[in-house]
Homo-oligomer: A and B are copies of this chain.
Amino acid sequence: MGYESIWLKRAALPEGATAPKTIAETIAQELTALQNLRDDMIWAYLVTDALPEEGYDIVVNDRKADILGGSAVGVLYGIYDAQRQLIVNGTVVSVSERPACPLRMLNHWDNADGSIERGYSGRSFFFDDGKLLIDDRTSFYARLCASVGINATVINNVNVRGDATWLITDRYLERVREMADRFAAYGIRLYLCVNYAASIEIGGLGTSDPLEPAVAEFWKAAVAKVYAKVPSLGGFLVKADSEGRPGPHTYGRTQADGANMLARALAPYGGTLIWRCFVYNCAQDWRDTTIDRACAAYDYFHPLDGMFEENVVLQVKNGPLDFQVDEPVSPLFCGMTKTNLMLEVQAAQEYTGQQKHVCFLVPMWKDVLRFRTYAYSEHDRVEDIISGTHRRGACGFAAVANTGNDENWTGSDFAAANWYGFGRLAWKPQLSAEEIAAEWAGLTFEDSTVRNVVTKVLLASYGIYQSYTAPLGIGWMCNPNHHYGPNVDGYEYDRWGTYHRASCKAIGVDRTTKGTGFSAQYSEPLAKLYENPETTPMKHLLFFHRLPYTYVLPNGKTLIQHIYDTHFEGVEELRSLVENVVAVQGMIPEKEYTRIMERFGMQLSSAKEWRDRINTYFCRMSGIGDAKRRKIYAVSEEDLVYPGE
């Protein structure tokens, strides 16, 4: 299946270019592409150990530009910077760049059979029918990643089952090495997800107990074999004790016991063990209000701070639940000062419109990165923690990838901006959402009017999506399993620990110390702020508090009126966004335009469904009418009270 060059479409590779085998070949190709963009300049490059390994300087003197890199990869990043400047601005200026996060990683949830868990852009381009796919697309994928500074990738799903369990064995290692070599030519290290129960499923042992010497021996031998074949492997990523996956808890051991056992096997080869913190009880009784899933990760991992090996990184989802449209930042970023942490966000739009809705996630990720944790001092933000500012060990930033074998890689053309934006933020969290949106629009579209419209669409999209979906940080209210479209009670009586507990009077879960106590997991003064609805950020109000529909928000509206207003307005704002794009129809290539309009059609219809179901549900539930008398499907007017009438 063919593919498009998306944001590199104007950085054309030399005629007949084949997949590069070494980083030197890649540099040569990309220099040609640069020369093609601007052939009246002299481009030179130099590797110097005066710069940090991945850093680069571009020094422009009139018609000559020197690209200095701390290594060949640094040079490559510099070349991509120059390409970007030329495409977006038509000119190149001197810059000096160092990456913020040591690990800048994509997590692909691709299964060995070629399906993708939470994939909305076709099938896998890494796997098909139990086999690894390696072709031109593999290298082009690496080029797109490297062009935004991504230096690590995990090609298989964290839920490792069936064939994928065998990736670390002879059955696959030859091909894994080929894949790793393709990536290495772009400065990208391959990581693999492993099955925590591999000592049973592959090793034939009766156990995966991390303290059982035979289990440690199994992994030592397995890792030795892997590194003998694939010496450039970055390490392993593990989802254990989570949503039915096996793990150390099965044997009464801690998450540290499990992670450290694997980390020790990897250490001799410089390998890193990335361990996910997404551990919670997914068989909760909805009747039990004493359990709060939001508390789980901190409860499990905080007591283990300082007990992990140096080559362990804990990968923490941005929020305490699961990639909702808006969640408070995970308190693990406040309380784990003796452990390497990595932030995990989801570029795949599982809960944010599944690449049918435009939802540029960079503004939300920015909020997470800028969040003051008070972990080491009052100045620490999440972006400092994941940059390793306070620790020598590996830290980083990971995104669950939103790619597939669709021609445009991400199903929705606009969704590519999330992939792009993730890479840029991992390199330089200080970039603003506006800068990133404008860069991507500049790379992707030629006409300046279109670039402006697209930038506007991207920047407005997240707020609009927030408006017409679940209100004020309460999350969920989506259809079970596939998670597309509204269903207010979809998870309300289920086992997943995700409840809104709406009644005719109030809505929300009290997560303060008077409720589940989640707010106390934060450092002060955060804990205190979250304890009180008046000092809780409005966007997270219903995450922390149970409030009556008549509660008056800082904007002067009642909670219920705010729900109605945002839902009606969200759809109207979306309509006007679409009109902005329609207005530049002739300036966007027809194929892209048609694709974009098809998705907008789906988004509009879905947004109206969200608006009407949420408004109707809460109108029927509260018995309070919309002060502006817009259309809500409340059955009988007699059931309703209108405020102030």
Contacts and interface: CB of A to CB of B under 8 A. Distances in A.
A154 B638 CA distance: 50
Given A613-B493, A633-B287, A504 B639 contact: yes
B613 A503 contact: no
A12 interface: no
Interface stretch (A207-215, A367-375, A617-625): A617-625
Interface string A606-641: 000000110011011111000000000111101100
A501 B546 contact: no
B633 A503 contact: no
Contacts of A502: 620
Interface in A389-443: none
A286 B615 CA distance: 14
Interface string A462-500: 000000000000000000000000111100010000000
B620 A503 contact: yes
17 contacts: A286-B633, A287-B612, A487-B493, A493-B613, A493-B616, A501-B620, A501-B635, A503-B619, A503-B620, A503-B636, A504-B504, A505-B623, A505-B636, A505-B639, A506-B635, A546-B636, A620-B621
A513 interface: no
A96 interface: no
Given A613-B493, A635-B546, A621 B287 contact: no
A504 B625 CA distance: 12
Interface string A163-195: 000000000000000000000000000000000
A634 B489 contact: no
A94 interface: no
A289 interface: yes
Contacts of A623: 503-505
A163 B639 CA distance: 53
A493 B611 CA distance: 12
Interface in A499-539: 501-506
Nearest to A488: B489
Given A287-B612, A633-B287, A635-B546, A621 B488 contact: no
Interface in A113-130: none
Interface in A144-177: none
A486 B286 CA distance: 13
Given A287-B616, A504-B621, A505-B636, 13 more contacts: A287-B612, A289-B633, A289-B635, A493-B613, A501-B635, A502-B620, A503-B635, A503-B639, A504-B504, A504-B620, A504-B623, A546-B636, A621-B621
A622 B504 contact: yes
A622 B622 CA distance: 9
What 3 pairs between A and B have smallest CB-CB spacing? A503-B620, A504-B504, A505-B639
Contacts of A619: 503
Contacts of A286: 633
Select the residue from A486, A501, A634 with max chain B CB neighbours within 10 A. Answer: A501
Select the residue from A286, A504, A612, A621 with max chain B CB neighbours within 10 A. Answer: A504
A497 B634 CA distance: 16
A487 B487 CA distance: 12
A339 B636 CA distance: 40
B493 A639 contact: no
A11 to B, nearest CB: 47
